[in-house]
Structure 1
Amino acid sequence: MGWQRTPGGGGQDGESLLDGSAELARVRAVLALGGVPWDQLDDGVQQVRVKLLDARAAPGKDPIRNWAAWLTVVASRVACDWHRSRTHDAALRERLATRWADQPPPEAEDQRVLALAVAGELETMPVRQRQVLCLRYYADLPVHDIARLLEIPEGTVKSRLHSATAALKKCLQDKEVI
């Protein structure tokens, strides 16, 4: 099922979702010109395909009259989104690096032993407890952000944190690490 072109050049039905080589080449070119790296172009093409599926499935919308123009605009928006997410990720990495740079590295043997023991105990904990502990103490997120990320009430986060820290403390005491 290829793209069906009308004599006016503007009416493809979109059935094959970028199977035509000209349309695929256009989308890849727009993404590349938008600064998306070569190794991520296929991901960008997939995002355009998803948006095409969404556009076709939307009830009550006007049909797309010029597929070439639509694909070009959507591909350029995908490239912009890629830059936004890359900037956001870089800012997050920078904040985390700054936060960890302020803390002196553990040099004492006791601290290393404790860090290894905690890591080992985290692996044995239930997923729900491990999630809240890691988000709270490793990612340094406040309770309300953890609740929002996990889509659970703040009270549940607090309860899980309390039970997880108590269980972790007991295990470390039993092993005489602390």
Structure 2
Amino acid sequence: MSTLLDGGIVGSLSDSGPPARGRGFDEFYAAYFQPLTVQLFAYTGDMAAAQDVVQEAFCRALSRWKRVAEMDDPAAWVRRVAWNLATSRWRRARTAMAFARRHREEHVAAPSPDRVALAQALATLPEQQRRAVILHYLADLPISDIARQEGVAEGTVKSWLHRGRTALATRLTDKETHRA
């Protein structure tokens, strides 16, 4: 079955040419390069890649030509090598893309002025108050869980929250007054 592919390359999808036994490498190459390239093009969808892997497979066959020529179906050996090379290229490309996705620079919006002011105000609180405010208001933990986590009474956590809120209100209100 003949087909017209990519700008006039005509090839047969079967490569049932004469056996390689008794023929030289040049004849084998001339008989099988085009059909194998068409097959690999159908597999890869990229004519240049198909030509590259088929060419590489033939180079490998040439370096072992005495052994390959004696095989029952040398074209099948070259096809398998080309197919494996194409699959390896695809795997390497997939791995490279995954690496690039994991390591690409992500652009995120700058924090709002309110968020910066809150972070600065939280940084001024004593450690226990800051932790209590963050756990209660940002992590949505109930007072009982915070008390258990910190190993203190619930009243202590309530005191930390009250003092923390008061200090934050003062600092954030002062910043609002200075900005206006």
Q: Which category of TM-score, normalised to the shorter sequence, fits these structures?
A: 0.3 to 0.5
Higher relative contact order (CA 8 A, sep 6+): 1
Q: Which one has the bigger strand percentage?
A: 2
Q: What's the TM-score once normalised by structure 2's chain length? A: 0.41
Q: If you compute each CA radius of gyration, which structure gives the higher value, 1 or 2?
A: 2
